[in-house]
Amino acid sequence: MKEKFTPKVGDILKDCYSYVAVVEANDNDFMLQRLELIDPNSHPGTYVDLDYINEFYEPVSLKPDFRDAKVGEKAFSIMEGMIEISDIKENATYPIVGEMINYDHDGYFSVKNDHPILFNSWQQAEAYFMDLFRRIREGEENINE
């Protein structure tokens, strides 16, 4: 049985279809906004209760993590598209080898940019940037986390 949790505003959750951001929380009601390429004005969000969240969602991070990556796994690169990890170089600064670019365990390449470019899936990449755009639109000051 999965452990129950209570999300807070700003948390990212995932069900079997999509990623959502918790954009409002009032007592036992939470407004979830899907993180995908849709017009946020036409789909402002959906209110659900805590029981529904615990039944269908799990908390997740939008930050890529390749610490346990294996050769042959698929990933999505902003620069290369869908790739297969072709090699993992032990003790290297950029150990994850894509088709033409090497990445670090957090999805960055070369110098640390403000945002990663290699993600565990296309859906994670889409949700990461939709959440970033949502935070920019809402005027949050520190968007380079």
For residues 114 and 133, state if they share a domain: no
pLDDT at 141: 54
- Has residue 41 been placed in a domain? yes
- Has residue 143 been placed in a domain? no
- Residue showing tokens 């003790």: 91
- Has residue 104 been placed in a domain? yes
Q: Is the pLDDT of residue 145 over 60?
A: no
One-letter amino acid at 90 equals: E
The mean-pLDDT minimum among 36-45, 64-73, 107-116 falls in: 36-45
For residues 17 and 58, state if they share a domain: yes
- Has residue 69 been placed in a domain? no
For residues 83 and 115, state if they share a domain: yes
pLDDT tens, position by position, 57-98: 999 989 999 999 999 999 999 999 999 999 998 888 888 888
Which domain, by its residues, includes 85? Answer: 74-119
- Has residue 52 been placed in a domain? yes
Whether residue 29 contacts residue 49, with contact meaning beta carbons closer than 8 Å, is answered with yes
Q: Is the pLDDT of residue 38 over 70?
A: no
Quote the number of domains for the chain: 2
CB < 8 Å & 24+ apart, contacts of 24-33: 33/134
- Has residue 56 been placed in a domain? yes
Query: Is the pTM above the cut of 0.85?
Result: no
Whether residue 77 contacts residue 83, with contact meaning beta carbons closer than 8 Å, is answered with yes
pLDDT at 34: 83
- Has residue 6 been placed in a domain? no
DSSP 10-36: T-EEE-SS-EEEEEEEETTEEEEEE-S
